[in-house]
Amino acid sequence: MRRFGALPKETLRGFRHPSALNLAARSISSANLEVVRETLPAVAAVGPDFTGHFYQRMFAAHPELLNTFNVSNQREGRQQKALFSAIACTATSVLEHGTFPNQLLAGVHHKHCALNVLPEQYEVVGTHLLGTIVDLLDPPSHVLEAWGELYQALATECIDRSEELYLANEQKEGGWRGEREFVLKRKQAKSDTVTEFTFAPADGQPICSYIPGQYTTVWVEGEGWTNRQPRHYTLVGVPNGEDYTIGVKKEPQGLVSGFLHDQLSVGDRLPLSPPFGDFHVKHADKIWVLDSQHPVVFLSAGMGITPTLSMLGHVKNEQRTVLWLHAAENGRLHPYRDYLVGLAQAKSEGFTRRVWYNHPEPEDEIGEDNTSVYHFKGTMDVKQVETELPLHDEHAMYFMCGPPAFMDSMSKQLSSLGVPRQNLAFESFDPWEEGGDLVKQYD
């Protein structure tokens, strides 16, 4: 165990709910900032073991929280790595810029609201985060105080922003807070592994609208399950105030996706959270200055197609040009292909569609036309469409969604072509591990 020095465990008793603290302007003292700067390398050296210990500690004390966390991400270690990266990004941003990493936290706030996270749960997290520092690093009291102040400021920020989002949804026509019961209205296969589910509210009352690219959260508890499980699924189609439609890929070991595909029938009921998510076309308002002339590029892989498809429905009738790039395994596993081919046929100008198949099947015909089944073999390589990319337009916006490896690859490829990072918008269906190396500069 790497130690800072002796620390009595009684120090943890001083943790207070962040709302009870005097944190004017979210300030953190300069002395405590310097302590965080000096000790960040030690926290970084523990790595994901730090967050792994944190989750074990917290779930042992509060097993009911397993009903809120994705147990698959926990089991495979993705959530632990994502949390460690978030801690590293937050500490680094505060040290370097004096602010929280707002772009990162924006998505966190929406996810927390989708899961109906409450203020008292931040207190639980704080207690066990500081307890983990004690268990693994045994720091002196001033170190624990510094990290405690950083967390308390962050928790206050999260609580306040979440409440704003909760209220905004409640005040919409048809809006609500927490969970609401829905009935499965329609179930339709879209590929060999993807099925579309349409839910209508059980009370028959209107439901709130959503911004293309946002998601709802489905809460599932199968027979014999130890814990109830939430999953976020992007809303597809045009908002109509009557029902929500999601597209779900059946994963080989997917607990919830398997239940939805194999056990959920029309007429069955499930709780849903209201729409949340900050990955949408309105992200780009400041860059575009409300000018619809600037182009949009959508890049997706696998089920990352659903949020970009929803956003495409929002902009397809505008004057701006759209470049649609998608990667799939083959034609059988390419959902919504027929719809997009039809759109390419109907929209002869302003819409360019290019598709990569990693392992095409014999019946998958490669071609060069906008309506071809697919255009390139292998994984997505944007240099193959470099002439189609709006690299000349500094206001062009790039929206990317897919697995973490895909997101990382696309970010690097586009950056190598000169696309500014502020023009990239991300959404990942897994906890993304970006940012974990940001602490190295303090080693």
Q: Give the range among 19-33, 40-54, 156-170, 404-418 with minimum mean pLDDT.
A: 19-33
Read off φ and ψ for residue 223, nearest 5 degrees.
-65, 130
| pLDDT (0 to 100) of residue 90 | 86
- Distance (Å, whole) CA 61 – CA 281: 41
Higher pLDDT, 92 or 273: 273
| pLDDT (0 to 100) of residue 25 | 32
| pLDDT (0 to 100) of residue 364 | 96
- Distance (Å, whole) CA 206 – CA 335: 29
Q: Over pLDDT 90: what percentage of the chain?
A: 59
| pLDDT (0 to 100) of residue 283 | 52
What pLDDT band is residue 292 in, cutting at 50, 70 and 90? low
What's the average model confidence in pLDDT over 387-393?
95
Q: Over pLDDT 70: what percentage of the chain?
A: 86
pLDDT, tens only, 201-259: 999 999 999 988 899 999 999 999 999 999 999 899 888 999 999 999 998 888 999 99
| pLDDT (0 to 100) of residue 27 | 67
Highest mean pLDDT among 81-85, 277-281, 346-350: 346-350
What pLDDT band is residue 10 in, cutting at 50, 70 and 90? very low
Which of 320, 326, 286, 304 is closest to 390 using CA atoms? 320
User: Which residue type occupies 193?
Assistant: T
| pLDDT (0 to 100) of residue 225 | 93
Contact 339, 188 (CB under 8 A): no
Exposed/middle/buried for 241, CB within 10 Å: 0-12, 13-18, 19+? exposed
| pLDDT (0 to 100) of residue 22 | 33
Higher pLDDT, 20 or 166: 166
Residues 6+ apart with CB under 8 A from 236: 196, 245, 246, 247, 306, 309, 310
What's the average model confidence in pLDDT over 367-383?
96
What pLDDT band is residue 428 in, cutting at 50, 70 and 90? low
| pLDDT (0 to 100) of residue 21 | 32
| pLDDT (0 to 100) of residue 318 | 72
In three-state form (DSSP H/G/I as H, E/B as E, the rest C), the secondary structure along the chain is CCCCCCCCHHHHHHCCCHHHCCCHHHCCCHHHHHHHHHHHHHHHHHCHHHHHHHHHHHHHHCHHHHHCCCHHHHHHCHHHHHHHHHHHHHHHHHHHHCCCCHHHHHHHHHHHHHCCCCHHHHHHHHHHHHHHHHHHHCCCHHHHHHHHHHHHHHHHHHHHHHHHHHHHHHCCCCCCCCCEEEEEEEEEECCCCEEEEEEEECCCCCCCCCCCCCEEEEEECCCCCCCCEEEEEEEECCCCCCCEEEEEECCCCCHHHHHHHHCCCCCCEEEEEEEECCCCHHHHHHHHCCCCCCCEEEEEEHHHHHHHHHHHHHHCCCCCCEEEEEEECCHHHCCCHHHHHHHHHHCCCCEEEEEEECCCCCCCCECCCCCCCECEECCCCHHHHCCCCCCCCCCCEEEEEECHHHHHHHHHHHHHCCCCHHHEEEEECCCCCCCHHHHHHHC
Contact 287, 423 (CB under 8 A): yes
Give me the chain's average pLDDT, please. Answer: 85
Q: What is the pTM of this model?
A: 0.78
Tokens 């029902």, residue located: 243
Answer whether residue 429 shows pLDDT above 60: no
| pLDDT (0 to 100) of residue 280 | 59
Answer whether residue 75 shows pLDDT above 80: no
Exposed/middle/buried for 224, CB within 10 Å: 0-12, 13-18, 19+? exposed
What's the average model confidence in pLDDT over 47-76?
88
